[in-house]
Amino acid sequence: MYRKILVALDNSATSQALVAHAIELAQATRGELLLVHSLSSQEENSPLPMSATIDSIYWAPGTELDLEAWRQEWMRYETASLERLRHYGAIANTAGVTTEFRQLVGNPATAICKAAQAWGADLILVGNRGRSGLSQLVLGSVSNEVMHRASCAVLVMKGAALSEVETPADVNVSTKDPKQAVA
């Protein structure tokens, strides 16, 4: 049975529903969770990719890129993502599920597969936004790449199925003490 479940998250609204599914699965199997998010330029609303060690940039006419503004935007992105992981971790822990979280940097599929192997995951739970055609070709599919590269089982939750699920903030998740519930 699945005792070590890695949950691959991004900063989309479907991540809330993915966490709710993961909590239910971990409760049913008496498993534990590892919540993983990869800071990446592939994610919507992420800052433009740039090396964090860069000291200066070449300014060209029409370029509005300011190195200090980029660093501040990256810090906001990193901090908001980490707070989201902490929030989800707290929800899972309150539900009686042992939970860790890690924020990684780089290609999401690579980071997910490496983290799963290093942690000894039995299952990777990942969402799928349903991209197809040109958008999938250009942007790729993290879930598809994870399915092909992972060394353990992978459960892909379709975006449509995730949008129909109550989010952790709304759902009453069973805890070890039936008198308690997550609000």
Residue 54 belongs to some domain of the structure: no
Give the pLDDT of residue 71: 77
User: Which of the four pLDDT bands, split at 50, 70 and 90, describes residue 167?
Assistant: very low
Asked if the structure places residue 171 within a domain, the reply is: no
Residue 177 pLDDT: 39
CATH of the domain at 106: 3.40.50.620
Question: Quick one: 54 exposed, middle or buried, by C-beta within 10 A (0-12, 13-18, 19+)?
Answer: exposed
| pLDDT tier for residue 14 given thresholds of 50, 70 and 90 | confident
Which residues lie across from 9 on neighbouring strands?
37
Number of domains in the chain: 1
- Is 181 contained in some domain? no
Does 168 reside within a domain? no
Domain assignment present for residue 140? The answer is yes
pLDDT in tens, 23-71: 999 999 999 999 999 998 777 677 755 555 555 555 555 555 666 777 7
Bigger pLDDT: 108 vs 174 = 108
Domain residues for the domain of 153 are 4-46+67-163
Q: How confident is the model at residue 129 (pLDDT cuts 50, 70, 90)?
A: low
Distance CA 171, CA 19 (A): 11
Q: Which residue has the higher pLDDT, 15 or 54?
A: 15
Asked whether residue 12 is assigned to any structural domain, the reply reads yes
Note whether residue 31 is domain-resident. Answer: yes
- Which whole-number Å values give the CA distances from 32 to 96, 125, 159, 161, in the listed order? 10, 12, 24, 23
Domain-located, residue 75? yes
CA distance 171 to 183: 7
